[in-house]
Structure 1
Amino acid sequence: MRVYLLYGGKSAEHEISLSTAFQITQAIYYQYYSVIPVYITKTGDWLQGQTLNEPVKFVDNLRLREADEKRQATNNHENSTGIKFLPNGFDPEDSVVFPVLHGPNGEDGTVQGLLETLNIPYVGNSVLASAVGNDKIMSKLLFKQAGIPVVPFQAIDAQSWENNTASVIARCEGELLYPMYVKPSNLGSGIGVTQVNNSVELQYAIDNAFELGPRVIVERGIVAREIEIGLLGNEEIATSVPGEILSFDDVYDRKLAMKEDHEARIPVELDEELLAKIVSFSKTAFAVIDGSGLARCDFFISANQDIYLNEITTMPGFYKNAMYPRLWEAVGLSYSDLIEELLQLALKKNQANNSK
Structure 2
Amino acid sequence: MTQPVFSKSQLEWIRHNLTVAVIHGGDKARAESFIFENLSPRSTKTYEPVAHDIANALRESGFQHVEVLAEDIDLAQQLKDKAIDLVITNSGGLQGFDSMCHLPSTLEMLGVPYVGHSPMTAGILDNKHLFKHEIHAAGLPTTPFITIGIDERFEDEVKQSAIDQIEAQFSDGFIVKPVSGRASIHVYPVFSREALAGVVEKVRAATGNTVMIEPFLGGREFVVAVAGEFIFKSGQLTQSDTPLAFSITERVLGEDEPIFTSMDVKPITQDRLIAVTDEPLRSELAAIGQKIYRQLGLQTLVRVDLRMDSTGKVYVLETNPKPDLKRPQGDNVSLVCHDLAREGMDYTDLVQSLVFNRLSFLKQKRPMALAHCLTAQFDALQE
TM-score (norm 1): 0.78
In structure 1, the partner of 2:302 is 295
Partner of 1:87: 80
8 Å CA contact 1:169, 1:203 repeated in 2: no
Q: Is the 8 A contact 1:241 1:266 kept in 2?
A: no
CA shift, 1:202, in A, is: 1.5
Distance 2:309 2:193 in 1: 25
**SS of residue matched to 1:229:** strand
Q: Name the counterpart of 1:192.
A: 186
In the alignment, which residue of structure 2 is the partner of 1:343? 355
CA–CA separation in structure 2 for the residues paired with 1:227 and 1:5: 29
Equivalence for 1:72: none
Deviation by residue 1:108-158 (Cα, 9 ceiling, x = unmatched): 333212212222121122223212111110111111111111122112222
- Given candidates 319, 322, 341, the residue that maps to 1:315 is 322
Q: Distance in 2 between matches of 1:46 and 1:247?
A: 41
Please give the residue correspondences for 1:196-215 in structure 2 after superposition, counting only pairs within 5 Å: 196-210=190-204, 211-215=206-210
Query: How far, CA to CA, are the matches of 2:301 and 2:248 in structure 1?
Result: 15
- Tell me if structure 1 keeps the 8 A contact 2:45–2:92: no
Task: State the identity as a percent.
Answer: 19
Q: Secondary structure at the match of 1:150?
A: coil
Q: 1:275 aligns with which of 276, 279, 282?
A: 282
- Structure 1 Cα separation of the partners of residues 285 and 102 of structure 2: 30
Pairing 1:128–2:120 present: yes
Partners of 2:181 and 2:343 in 1: how far apart?
29
Inter-partner Cα distance in structure 2 for 1:106 and 1:263: 34
1:252 maps to what in 2?
A: 260
Amino acid at match of 2:356: Q
Equivalent-residue separation in structure 1 for 2:250 and 2:157 (angstroms): 38
Report the residue type matching 1:209 in the other structure: V
Distance 1:245 1:319, change over 3 A: same
Q: Which moved more, 1:237-246 or 1:321-330?
A: 321-330
1:240-288 C-alpha deviation (Å, 9 max, x unpaired):
1411111451232324676142534442222x33333222221111122
The question of 1:176 aligning with 2:176 is answered no
State how far apart, in whole Å, the 2-side matches of 1:262 and 1:256 are. 16
| Runs of 5+ unmatched residues, structure 2 | 1-17, 29-39, 230-240, 328-332, 369-383
Q: 1:2 to 1:292 in 2, by over 3 A?
A: same
Matches of 1:27 and 1:247, distance apart in 2:
31
Q: Any idea what the Cα deviations from partners look like across 1:2-50, whole Å, max 9, x if unmatched?
A: 221111245555446233223224433343233222124xxxx4457xx
1:7-156 paired onto structure 2 within 5 Å: 7-9=24-26, 13-15=43-45, 17-30=47-60, 31-40=62-71, 45-46=72-73, 84-88=77-81, 90=83, 95-102=85-92, 108-156=100-148
Aligned to 1:239: 245
Distance 2:49 2:162 in 1: 37
Report the residue type matching 1:351 in the other structure. Answer: K
Find the aligned partners of 2:176 and 2:362 in 1 and give their Cα distance.
Answer: 38
Q: In the alignment, which residue of structure 2 is the partner of 1:56?
A: none
Q: Is the 8 A contact 2:129 2:147 kept in 1?
A: yes
**Closer/same/farther in 2, CA of residues 109 and 2 from structure 1, 3 Å limit:** same
Number of residue-to-residue matches in the alignment: 312
Secondary structure of 2:224's aligned partner: strand
Q: 8 Å contact 2:138–2:295 — kept in the other structure? A: yes
Q: Does the 8 Å contact 1:300/1:308 carry over to 2?
A: yes
Which amino acid in the other structure matches residue 305 of structure 1? G
Deviates more, 1:133-142 or 1:244-253: 244-253
Quote the Cα distance in structure 1 between the aligned partners of 2:242 and 2:117: 14
Distance 2:362 2:306 in 1: 31
Distance of 2:73 and 2:242 partners within structure 1? 35
